[in-house]
Homo-oligomer: A and B are copies of this chain.
Amino acid sequence: MAASAEAPSADPPQSGDAGEDSEPVVTPWTVSGDVDYNKLVDKFGCSLIPPEMVERIERLTGMPVHPFLRRGIIFAHRELNIILDCYEKGLPFYLYTGRGPSSEALHLGHLVPFMFTKYLQDAFKAPLVIQLTDDEKSLWKNLDVDEARRLARENAKDIIACGFDIARTFIFSDYDYVGGAFYRNASRIQRCVTLNQVKGIFGFTGEDNIGKISFPAIQAAPSFPDSFPHMFGTRKDIRCLIPCAIDQDPYFRMTRDVAPRIGHHKPALIESRFFPALQGISGKMSASDTTTAIYTGDSPKEIKSKISKYAYSGGRATVEEHRLKGADLDVDIPFKYLSFFLDDDEKLETIRQEYGSGRMLSGEVKAELIQLLQDLVARHQAARSKVTEDVVDMFMAVRPMPGLFR
């Protein structure tokens, strides 16, 4: 899985980077340009999440929905209604998400899908599988196999720090777990997908290595419960819900096409917008340029400095102009970040009005964000420091997992 909810990844495999003026590009490896999410939903063929669906989730789970859902950050879906029907009838389902471990340091964009998945697990008491695609990163980034495995374990620590329930969560690295029932499902999927199809979906060319060509089946296989016999035995009736950023949609469109042909339910999807780079909504968060993002390992000082210096502001050129016109909230990165991470709806609304009308200045909004992220990152670091190697081993153990369902 490419870095979900991360705006853009560092190296698209084939397609050139689109400049800011070009058509936006959204693939599992590249997100660039100004993304029109309504158009994307039309193009991909998924659906917007309507307000009634958000209300239904709140009603069914008996707890407030996550701010990401209230605020349209999680905004699109495929057959989420079927998952909610299941839940209502007391039928089991499980969650599947993942990460491609291409670097040691995770940034805030990487955390978004995991924060949301943690909420889903808590709200629905659902089992969860988390795939670390160390094989993908080795195939795409020419990363040494053992280095990719090491990064997978390091990333697992950050993921575990998000607070997942160890009794219901299985984290696995492809290089360690692929085999047996999982490999058989991957092979069943591969048999149903032609080279022409993956060329059409992913843009592969003759210069791509053959591991890339067949990799989509490895990312598809966790969508089927019998890929995890230690969790679900040979059951095929347990449906899968995949929280991910919308750039991963092509993988799961393919998976959904194949599913009925191999006797499985189609996985459902719940999809997020992209998390923007500090430099602006069309900018790129880059692993090689650490000024483009806030990392989970950043110190309070680094956070303050990066936001002060680099966060693209929608404030106006002069205080006078700002007081007159108000900030341009559509492009203001500190406000975008607050709308991701400030849980307090009222406070966020106050900032929207005050800043948008020009009464609040850019520096004041940045100060709010700095405080918020310093706290959030400090909490994350404290949680991560408790994740020992033993804890990682426990989450990643192929173990009997009784009582997975209510």
Which A residues lie at the B interface, using CB under 8 A? 135, 138-139, 142, 145, 174-180, 182-184, 187-188, 190-199, 204-211, 213-214, 216-217
Contact = CB atoms under 8 A, between A and B. Distances in A.
Contacts of A211: 187, 190-191, 214, 217
A177 B198 CA distance: 27
A195 B179 contact: no
A177 B199 CA distance: 30
Give how many copies assemble into the complex.
2
A138 to B, nearest CB: 6
A213 B195 contact: yes
A195 B216 contact: no
Contacts of A208: 194-195
8 contacts: A139-B190, A145-B188, A179-B182, A194-B210, A195-B206, A198-B210, A210-B214, A211-B217
A137 to B, nearest CB: 11
Contacts of A142: 191
B207 A196 contact: yes
B210 A206 contact: no
Contacts of A176: 180
A207 B195 contact: yes
B217 A206 contact: no
A199 to B, nearest CB: 7
B214 A184 contact: no
Nearest to A206: B196
Contacts of A182: 179
A187 B175 contact: yes
A210 B213 CA distance: 6
Contacts of A197: 210
B209 A204 contact: no
By Cβ-Cβ distance, the 3 closest A-B pairs, closest first, are A179-B179, A190-B211, A214-B214
A214 to B, nearest CB: 4
Contact of A179 (B183, B190, B199, B210): B183
A192 to B, nearest CB: 7
A5 B380 CA distance: 61
Contacts of A199: 206
Contacts of A194: 206-210
Given A199-B206, A210-B213, A214-B214, A183 B175 contact: yes
A209 B193 contact: yes
Contacts of A207: 194-196
A178 B190 CA distance: 15
